[in-house]
Each structure stands twice: as C-alpha cells, then as structure tokens.
C-alpha cells in the first residue's frame, strides 16, 4: 500500500493555480459534451425519416442538453478568464 499525502494549497497563488487547472478541465469537459451532442444529432439527422421520428424525443433531449452545456461553458469561460486575470 502506497502512502500518498495530498498537499492542501496554502497560498493565494497555489489556490489560484489549482483553480485555473480545474476551470480549464471544466471548459474541456463541456466541450466534449457539446461535441458529443452535436455529433449525435448529426447521426440522427442521417437516419431514415421513420427512425428519426422514433428518436424525436431523444433528439429533443440532446438539443436541450446542447443548449445547456453551451451556456454552462460560457459561464466557466468567464470564471476561467477571471482566474487568469488574477494570476497574470
């Protein structure tokens, strides 16, 4: 068993550096979801009309998720910018 010690950030700079990394990852995760939802909607759009009709509710869910992820990503980008300003 390996003994791992997790260091808690102690200074403002350490906290901001940790926050910066977390926000960058958050923005990236939103982008992955956005890309996935867009590609899924494209795939549904390629299907024959009867299959598209069967998946209409799912396509609507994906659309709503896409809109939501884009908004949340915008918020995360604002917070990322604020953190960068404090570091810079």
Instruction: Give the pLDDT confidence score for residue 32 in this predicted structure.
Output: 98
pLDDT value of position 25: 98
30, 73 Cβ separation under 8 angstroms: yes
**Angstrom distances, CA of residue 61 to CA of 10, 22, 24, 40, 68:** 43, 27, 26, 11, 11
pLDDT in tens, the chain (88 residues): 566 677 787 899 999 999 999 999 999 999 999 999 999 999 999 999 999 999 999 999 999 999 999 999 999 999 999 999 999 8
pLDDT given at position 54: 98
Q: Which pTM was predicted? A: 0.85
């Amino acid at each position: 068993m390996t003994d791992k010690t997790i260091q808690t950030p102690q200074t403002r700079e350490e906290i901001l550096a940790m926050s910066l990394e977390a926000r960058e990852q958050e923005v990236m995760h939103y982008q992955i979801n956005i890309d996935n939802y867009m590609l899924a909607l494209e795939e549904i759009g390629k299907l024959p009309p009867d299959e598209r009709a069967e998946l209409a509710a799912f396509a609507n869910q994906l659309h709503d998720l896409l809109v939501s992820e884009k908004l949340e990503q915008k918020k995360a980008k604002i917070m990322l910018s604020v953190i960068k300003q404090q570091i810079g």
